[in-house]
Amino acid sequence: MIHIPVLKKEVIEYLDPQPDINFIDCTFGGGGHSFSILEKIGPKGKVMAIDWTPELAKGIKEERLILVCGNFADLEKIAKKNNFSKVSGILFDLGMSSWHLEESSKGFSFQKDESLDMRYSPENPLTARKILNWYSEKDIEKILREYGEELFSKRIAKKIIERRKERPIETTFQLREIVRMSTPRWYHRRKIHFATKTFQALRIAVNSEMDNLKKALEESLTILKQNGRLVLISFHSLEDRAVKNFLREKARVGIVSILTKKPIIPSPKEVKLNHRSRSAKLRAAIKI
pLDDT at site 138: 98
Tell me the C-alpha distance between 195 and 177, whole Å. 9
Q: Where are the domains positioned within the chain?
A: 8-99+210-287, 125-206
169, 187 contact by CB (below 8 A): no
The fold for domain 8-99+210-287 equals Rossmann fold (3.40.50)
Tell me the C-alpha to C-alpha distance, in Å, between residue 177 and each of 106, 136, 162, 174: 18, 20, 13, 5
Phi–psi pair at 97, nearest 5 degrees: -70, 150
CATH of the domain spanning 125-206: 1.10.150.170
3-state DSSP call for residue 281? strand
What is the chain's alpha carbon radius of gyration, rounded to the nearest angstrom?
Answer: 20
Q: Is there a contact between 258 and 247 (Cβ–Cβ < 8 Å)?
A: yes
Sheet holding 281-287, edge to edge: 65-69, 47-51, 22-25, 87-93, 224-234, 281-287, 256-258
- Predicted confidence at residue 1, as pLDDT, reads 40
Q: Are 110 and 172 in contact (CB under 8 A)?
A: yes
Query: What is the pLDDT, as a whole number, of residue 96?
Result: 84
Nearest to 236 by CA among 278, 186, 176, 188: 278
* H-helix segments, the chain: 8-15, 32-40, 75-81, 98-102, 128-134, 137-148, 153-166, 172-182, 185-188, 196-206, 209-223, 237-252, 268-273
CA distance 153 to 32: 36
What is the mean pLDDT of each successive set of 10 residues along the chain, which is 288 residues long?
80 98 96 96 97 86 94 98 96 90 93 97 97 98 98 98 98 98 97 96 98 98 97 96 98 98 96 91 98
Per DSSP, the three-state class of 91 is strand
Question: Helix (H, G, I), strand (E, B), or coil: what is residue 215?
Answer: helix
What pLDDT shows up at residue 3? 63
Assess contact for 244 and 237: CB atoms under 8 A: no
Please list, in sequence order, all residues whose beta carbon lies within 8 angstroms of the beta carbon of residue 269, skipping any fewer than 6 positions away: none
Within 10 angstroms of residue 71's Cβ, the number of other Cβ atoms is: 21
Q: What is the pLDDT of residue 58?
A: 80
Q: Which residues pair with 87 in a beta bridge?
A: 22, 224
